[in-house]
Amino acid sequence: MIERAERPRQRPRANSRPACAVLLAAIVVSASCAPKLRPPVETGKRAPDLVEVATLDPGLHLDIRYATANNFVGRPVYEEARAFLQRPAAEALVRAHRALAAQGYGIVVFDGYRPWSVTKLFWDVTPEDKKEFVADPSQGSRHNRGCAVDLSLYELASGREVEMPSAYDEMTERAYPDYAGGPAEARARRQLLRAAMEAEGFTVYASEWWHYDYKDWPQYPILDLPFSKLTRARPAGF
C-alpha cells in the first residue's frame, strides 16, 4: 500500500474565522475590563438650585433642538423640550433679555443645563477635528453645572429668530464670535447679543457665538440628572 505524503500544515490565515473569533473575543473582554468613564467627582461646591428659565419670563423663547432630530446628532437626546440654569445665571439671563427689548429683540434659548451623559454622547460622536466644539466629558462641561446657555435673538415684532453669521451648532469658522465674514447686519446682531450678555456677567465661548458661560460656574458641581428629576414649580422671589 502506497502511503500518501502528509501535506505540510499551513498557518491559519489572518482573516480566518478562528483567528477573527479570537480577536473579537479579546476586544470584548478588553472593553468590558476597561474602566467606565464617569462624571468627575468634586467637593466644596454650592448646592444646585436649577430653575426652569421659561418660568421666570414668558417672553423668553425656547427652541430646544436636542429634544428633536434637528441637531448635529440627528436624533433627540432630551425627552423634554425644557431649559434650566442655576438661579443666579437664570436671573441674569432674564435681565439681558429685558435689556434687549429696547432694541426690538428678545432671547431664544437653544440649551441650558445639560446632563453629563449627554456631554459624553456628544464627545463620542464628534470627529476628532471638530472636538473644539464639544466638551471633554473627563473634565465636564459648564452646561453640566447649569451655568452655560446656548442662545440667539428673535424679533419682538415678528417672533422670528434672526439671522446670525452661522447656524446654531455649525462646526465651522463661521461659528467663531470674532468671525469677520457674512452679512454686516448678522455680525451687528451677534455683537448686540454679546454686549447684553457680558453686561450681566456672561462670557462668550471662543469657538461658538451662541455659547455663554456665567461667571459663577466654578462654584457649582457637575450634574447628570435627567430633566424628569427637576422641579416644574415656579421659582419665587424674582
Q: Is the pLDDT of residue 31 over 90?
A: no
d(CA 165, CA 211): 14
Write out pLDDT tens, residues 227-238: 999 976 454 455
**24-31: average pLDDT:** 42
Domains and CATH numbers, the chain: 50-229 (3.30.1380.10)
Number of neighbours of residue 164 by Cβ within 10 angstroms = 23
pLDDT at 40: 84
More confident residue, 122 or 42: 122
Q: What is the pLDDT of residue 53?
A: 97
Q: Which candidate in 52, 91, 200, 208 is catalytic?
A: 208
Dump the DSSP string for 75-105: S---SS---EEEHHHHHHHHHHHHHHGGGTE
Across the range 132-150, mean pLDDT stands at: 96
Is 200 an annotated catalytic residue?
A: no
Q: What is the DSSP letter of 161?
A: B
Q: Are the beta carbons of 153 and 190 closer than 8 angstroms?
A: no
Q: Cα(first)–Cα(last) distance of the chain, in Å?
A: 104
Region 95-111 average pLDDT = 98
pLDDT tier at 8 (50, 70, 90 boundaries)?
very low
Q: Which three cell numbers stand for residue 230?
A: 427637576
Residue 20 above 90 pLDDT?
no
Query: Mean pLDDT for the chain?
Result: 87
